Amino acid sequence: MQPVSTLPWSTINSMAAAATADAASAQEDTQSVTKGVNPWLIAAAVMLATFMEVLDTAIASVALPYIAGSLSASNDEATWVLTSYLVANAIILPASNWFSLRFGRKRFLMSCVSIFTAASFACGAAPTLALMLVARVIQGAGGGALQPLSQAILLESFPPRKRGVAMAVFAFGVVVAPVLGPTLGGWLTDTYSWRYAFYINIPVGALALYMINRYIQDPPYIKNAKVPAFDNIGFGTLIVWTGCLQIILDKGQEVDWFGALWVRWAFLAMVIAFIWFCYQSWFKKDPLVDLRVLKDRNFLLGSILIFMFGIGIYSTVTVLPLFYQELLGYTAFTAGLVVAPRGLGAICGMPVIGYLSNKVDPRYLLTFGFLTFGLTTLYFGSITLQVSPTTLFLPILITGFGLSFVFVPISTAAYGTLKNEQIGNASGLFNLMRNVGGSIGISIATTLLTRRAAVHQSEITNYVPRSGQQFQNSLHNTTQALTGAYGPANAAHPAQATLYQQLGQQASSWAYVDVFRWLSLLCFFCVIIVWFFKKVKPGKPPAGAH
What share of the chain in percent tops pLDDT 70? 88
Arithmetic mean of pLDDT, 77-104: 81
Instruction: Give the total residue count for the chain.
Output: 546
Return the higher-pLDDT residue of 492 and 138: 138
Cα Rg of the chain, angstroms: 26
pLDDT value for 515: 92
pLDDT digit string (tens) for 244-273? 988 888 788 888 888 889 999 999 999 999
Out of 265-279, 374-388, 400-414, 492-506, give the one with best mean pLDDT: 265-279
Q: What's the CA gap between 74 and 76, in Å, rounded?
A: 5
Arithmetic mean of pLDDT, 534-543: 60
**Complete domains list, the chain, with CATH:** 34-230 (1.20.1250.20), 289-540 (1.20.1250.20)
Look at residues 385, 333, 381, 371 and name the one whose alpha carbon lies nearest to residue 528: 371
pLDDT digit string (tens) for 311-331? 888 788 778 888 887 888 887
pLDDT digit string (tens) for 496-521? 777 777 888 889 899 999 999 999 99
Q: Is the pLDDT of residue 25 over 60?
A: no
Render 460-529 in DSSP notation, one character per residue. HHHHS-TTSHHHHHHHHHHHHHHHHHH-TTTSHHHHHHHHHHHHHHHHHHHHHHHHHHHHHHHHHHHHHH
Average predicted confidence (pLDDT) for the chain: 80
Angle between helices 420-463 and 492-530 (to 10 degrees): 140
pLDDT digit string (tens) for 49-73? 888 887 777 677 677 778 888 888 7
Other Cβ atoms less than 10 A from the Cβ of 343: the count is 23
Residue 538 banded pLDDT, cuts 50, 70, 90 = low
Sorted by sequence, the CB contacts under 8 Å of residue 306 that are 6+ apart come out as 410, 414, 430, 433, 434, 437
Return the higher-pLDDT residue of 297 and 168: 297
Q: What's the CA gap between 498 and 307, in Å, rounded?
A: 42
pLDDT value for 418: 80
pLDDT digit string (tens) for 151-183? 778 877 777 677 667 777 777 777 677 667 777
Q: Is the pLDDT of residue 16 over 60?
A: no
Strand, helix or coil for residue 384: coil
pLDDT value for 323: 87
Other Cβ atoms less than 10 A from the Cβ of 254: the count is 11
* pTM of the full structure: 0.78
Angle between helices 129-144 and 80-103 (to 10 degrees): 40
pLDDT value for 11: 39
pLDDT value for 522: 92
Arithmetic mean of pLDDT, 461-487: 75
